[in-house]
Amino acid sequence: MKVVISAQSDDIDALVDPRFGRAAWFIVADSESSDWTALPNAENADASGGSGVRAAEQVLSQGVSAVVTGNVGPAAYGMLADNGIRVFHGGNGVTVREAVARLGCHDLSPMDAPTVAGHWSRPMHPKVSEVDGEQR
């Protein structure tokens, strides 16, 4: 089975990223052949909005049948589900390699709905003090 896993770095032994749309990387893995490739997601990770939808579009272009991640918002979940892509919770402290193995053993929980509201992991903009102009 061909699957995409949100990852914190570009390696099969990276931790599963808890974010889908703003994940640093996606690992495209084939659970049967053990082949994998890393896809950067920096452009989406740093976007001011719409990162989940753009990430879902990138995933759909890979021809996968499943996604493993920590959390996924409503727009991305809807796009993936509407295209027959199953989404699974990767767990905390789990590597991409472990997630692929657990998916093959049917040991990951499927997500039946989005797990977070949209924009939940957008970086906070620093506040500027009105008195001295320094970031706080």
- Residue of higher predicted confidence among 49 and 129: 49
Instruction: Answer whether residue 126 is part of any domain.
Output: no
Strands ordered across the beta sheet of 36-40: 36-40, 25-30, 2-7, 66-69, 86-89, 109-110
Instruction: Answer whether residue 127 is part of any domain.
Output: no
Residue 120 has pLDDT above 70, yes or no: no
Instruction: Answer whether residue 119 is part of any domain.
Output: no
Q: Enumerate the H helices of 15-134 as residue ranges.
A: 42-45, 51-60, 74-82, 96-104
Task: Report the mean per-residue pLDDT for the chain.
Answer: 84
HEC-encoded secondary structure of 116-135:
CCCCCCCCCCCCECCCCCCE
Are residues 110 and 26 in contact, defined by beta-carbon separation less than 8 angstroms? no
CA angle 37, 118, 10 (to 5 degrees): 15
CATH of the domain at 92: 3.30.420.130
Over residues 12-23, mean pLDDT: 93
Instruction: Answer whether residue 117 is part of any domain.
Output: no
Class of residue 41 by CB neighbours under 10 A (exposed 0-12, middle 13-18, buried 19+): buried
Q: Which of 85, 89, 95 is nearest to 108 (CA)?
A: 89
pLDDT given at position 48:
63
Q: Which of 73, 85, 82, 68 is nearest to 6 (CA)?
A: 68
Instruction: Answer whether residue 53 is part of any domain.
Output: yes
Instruction: Answer whether residue 134 is part of any domain.
Output: no
Residues 57-113 pLDDT 10s? 999 999 999 999 999 999 999 999 999 999 999 978 999 999 999 999 999 999 998
pLDDT given at position 127:
40
Instruction: Answer whether residue 135 is part of any domain.
Output: no
Q: How many domains does the chain have?
A: 1
Instruction: Answer whether residue 133 is part of any domain.
Output: no
Q: Please, which pLDDT band fits residue 129 given cuts at 50, 70 and 90?
A: very low
What is the domain extent for residue 95?
2-110
